Structure 1
Amino acid sequence: MEDYDYYFSEYDSNYSFTLDPVEDEPEKPHLTGHLHMVSMIIYIIACVLGVPGNAIVIWVTGFKMKKTVNVLWLLHLGVADFVFVVFLPFSIIYLALDFHWPFGVWMCKINSFVTVLNMFGSTLFLTVISLDRYLSTAYPHWSNKFRTLKSACIVCLVVWLSAVALSLPYLYFRDTMVLASGKTVCYQNFHNHSKYLIVMRHNILVWVRFINGFLLPSLTMVVCYSLLAFQVKRTTLQDLSKFSRIIAALIIAFFICWTPLHVFSILELAAHHNSHLHQVLHNGMPFASSLAFINSCLNPILYLFIGKNFKLHLSRSFLTIMKNTLREASQSGTILETIERPETSNEHLCERVAGQPYLPDLERDTQKLSQVCLSSTGSASV
């Protein structure tokens, strides 16, 4: 059977159906050429926007803002996306050269490993943030005791170790192969002479990626935000913190960008028994991959545009806008969560707000807290 694997982007889990030398690919249809051109343009856009955007997120959250749990989540999301977009030029060149890989076997392995690491890392961090949002609101006493910067750092370490463990098979199996035409392709080499074992290993990788990188995180996020919607009173839904709005937007963007690629991955499993799917995968997989890749440049943009006063701040520098927006997002999450907790004492409310810089977007909330603190201690410092 003809090997169609090397047509797909470097993200896809490619493999060979047979042990025969891979023949040169047939002449690609006109539509396929256009789709691949669109994919390459999206790659370039993701790289051009993602590198400076995520670098600024890392700079602001890592060096310019006070370290809080919310800021730490945003920092690690930025790191996951930044590492990925830095490697995007390799994918752009690979696609521009019509799937010829000139960078050697180790860059083939590392590039694929980093791509999958970004997917697992981003997904797991969004899942952790969703759990954190729910637990902070539903169990305030537990949150006040255990939601510390130290515990958040431990969670981040566990997330990264889990993402690395799930991505290691792509580092091990990825390989290069020279075709009869002299073109070198980067593909998934399962090192086995049994077609059954090759297909089985490929199926395992796809299902592990789908379940751990999409299905379970999706269910967790949906359950957390559904429970959160019931937990928060209807009258306060309009006053959700900016941080919660940002995380909701990140999750929606993640689903929109990554769902097509996971759907194509499941369809790929059926290609073992359906040759008609070959052309569908050949045309659609690079485009689905490029849509997933552009997710890495969306986060910094969402941080900015969700801000209520974004248009009023357009005259400021990009760095200043990003810094103010991220600070408002992280601190508004803390303040509004505290307001919504009936179990929290007045003294604790004052402690949570004391020392925080004044934020125009939070004027209504700080006024509420000022009244609470005045009635409790006779003075307020907001």
Structure 2
Amino acid sequence: MPSCPINSSKLSSHSNYTNPTDSLNYFTISLHGLFSSIGILENLLIIGVVGFRVRRTIISIWILNLAASDLLATSFLPFFTLYMAKGNTWTLGTTFCRIHSSIFFLNMFVSGFLLAAISMDRCLMVLRPVWAQNYRNSQLVAKICGGIWALAVVCTIPFYIFRDAIPVSNGRVLCYYNYARYLPSNTEGLKAICKRRKEALVFMKLFVAFLIPLLIIIFSYANVNASLARRGSRRPFRFIRLVVAVVVTFILCWAPYHLFIVIEVMAPDNVSVQQFIGKALPVAASIGFFNSVLNPILYVFSCPDLCNKIRHSLGAVMESVLAEDLAELTRRRSTARSSISTTDTAWRQKNSNTSVCLKTEEVLYENIVNSTQV
């Protein structure tokens, strides 16, 4: 299969990579392990509580889909941690390389679309309360979430197609883009084809997964704030804090990743830039994964009702565990007491029999002595 000339600087920078255990790599691996552990635990907790212990409402459907996307992303994060721990070499095969990378991009699209949809939903509740009362229901929201997942899958397909396990001259294998796959019959102008494909994917991610959702989020909450101000309604501090946290978190988590991707595509032949991007991009991707850890805190733990449900559920689990432990302890004590009681009874019976035997022997001895005297 032909390779893209546009990847030459990238592959050259990776072929000269000889220190997989530097401080930056250790830091990134530690970040991945921390984010993965926290993200899996908290998203499993949210899915368990919201999915099975909370009545199915509109907000619970939004949160369930967001938690499912974040759980999917954080569950695949350990494989990327393994990739980095082995010195940025992929050992899990080409197919899993494509699947693993696609999960990252799927979460990127689903998270952006869901956050934008949640912001629009809150905006419609304030700006169009009558419409929201008549048409806003859980069935509609479930269909919207299904459409979001379908659209995200369609947007992820190109990233699956052009992802590949690429051998490098120093013996390592990269899980990276191969824009030379599925070329037309006429392979003339290979560099131009690869360049167009790379730019298309980069700017597709930038606009569809980041800029457009960010603009929708800002526009929605700005309209909510303006509408409440026109009505003379007092904006609660918790609402303002949540809006600021949502916007700032989304920007801080995803902006570095998209910035480095744009720099990479703007300087494809600069080896020094590609070497810098090769080190900075995994850190930026780790920060992007951190969004999956912060989403539950912003959208779930900021809701008092859901927090109470989670506390109640955790309390019920702990009570159940403690009740089982107490029951087991009581059973063991009861068994031990019955065993001691049985042993004591046996000893008493044995002592009684011994006493009877001794008394019988004494009587017989006395009779023998008396008969001898006579």
- Scaled to the shorter chain, the TM-score interval is 0.7 to 0.9
**Equivalent residue for 1:77?**
66
Instruction: Report how far residue 293 of structure 1 moved.
Output: 1.0
Separation of aligned partners in 2, 1:319 and 1:208:
42
**Equivalent residue for 1:378?**
none
Gaps of 5+ in 1: 4-14, 322-382
Instruction: Report how far residue 72 of structure 1 moved.
Output: 0.6
> Is structure 2 residue 248 aligned with structure 1 residue 252?
yes
Cα 1:319–1:307 change in 2 (3 A) is same
Identity percentage of aligned residues: 28
Separation of aligned partners in 1, 2:137 and 2:302:
27
Separation of aligned partners in 2, 1:119 and 1:260:
14
Deviations 1:38-90 (A, max 9, x none): 11111111111011110111111111101111111011000000011111111
Separation of aligned partners in 2, 1:296 and 1:261:
15
**Equivalent residue for 1:236?**
234
More helix by share: 2
Q: Is the 8 A contact 1:68 1:149 kept in 2?
A: yes
Counterpart pick for 1:26 among 16, 21, 46: 16
Separation of aligned partners in 2, 1:208 and 1:25:
29
> Is structure 2 residue 56 aligned with structure 1 residue 67?
yes
Counterpart pick for 1:196 among 192, 197, 202: 192
Separation of aligned partners in 1, 2:17 and 2:237:
57
Deviations 1:231-252 (A, max 9, x none): 11354202666xx865653443
Q: Is the 8 A contact 1:21 1:179 kept in 2?
A: no
Counterpart pick for 1:217 among 197, 213, 219: 213
**Equivalent residue for 2:128?**
139
Gaps of 5+ in 2: 317-374
Where in structure 2 are the equivalents of 1:198-347 lying within 5 Å? 198-233=194-229, 235-238=233-236, 246=242, 249-272=245-268, 274-302=270-298, 306=302, 319=314
Instruction: Report how far residue 155 of structure 1 moved.
Output: 0.4
- In structure 2, give the amino acid aligned to 1:97: K
Q: Which SS does the other structure have where 1:176 is aligned?
A: strand
Q: Which SS does the other structure have where 2:164 is aligned?
A: strand
> Is structure 2 residue 107 aligned with structure 1 residue 118?
yes
Cα 1:263–1:18 change in 2 (3 A) is closer
Instruction: Report how far residue 304 of structure 1 moved.
Output: 6.6
Q: Which SS does the other structure have where 1:237 is aligned?
A: coil
Q: Is the 8 A contact 1:47 1:88 kept in 2?
A: yes
Q: Is the 8 A contact 1:45 1:294 kept in 2?
A: no
Q: Is the 8 A contact 1:136 1:143 kept in 2?
A: yes
Separation of aligned partners in 2, 1:306 and 1:20:
46
Deviations 1:301-336 (A, max 9, x none): 3457646799x98x9578359xxxxxxxxxxxxxxx
- In structure 1, give the amino acid aligned to 2:106: L
TM-score by length of 1: 0.72
Q: Which SS does the other structure have where 2:286 is aligned?
A: helix
Cα 1:161–1:316 change in 2 (3 A) is closer
Q: Is the 8 A contact 1:81 1:297 kept in 2?
A: yes
> Is structure 2 residue 70 aligned with structure 1 residue 44?
no
**Equivalent residue for 2:43?**
54
- In structure 1, give the amino acid aligned to 2:283: F
**Equivalent residue for 2:168?**
179
Q: Is the 8 A contact 2:165 2:174 kept in 1?
A: yes
Separation of aligned partners in 1, 2:10 and 2:39:
39
- In structure 2, give the amino acid aligned to 1:196: A
Separation of aligned partners in 1, 2:116 and 2:155:
16
Counterpart pick for 2:142 among 133, 153, 173: 153
Cα 1:53–1:104 change in 2 (3 A) is same
- In structure 2, give the amino acid aligned to 1:319: L
Q: Which SS does the other structure have where 2:116 is aligned?
A: helix
TM-score by length of 2: 0.73
Alpha-carbon RMSD: 3.0
**Equivalent residue for 1:337?**
none
Greater Rg over alpha carbons, structure = 2
Separation of aligned partners in 2, 1:60 and 1:198:
47
Deviations 1:265-319 (A, max 9, x none): 1111211254442233123111111111111122233457646799x98x95783
**Equivalent residue for 1:128?**
117
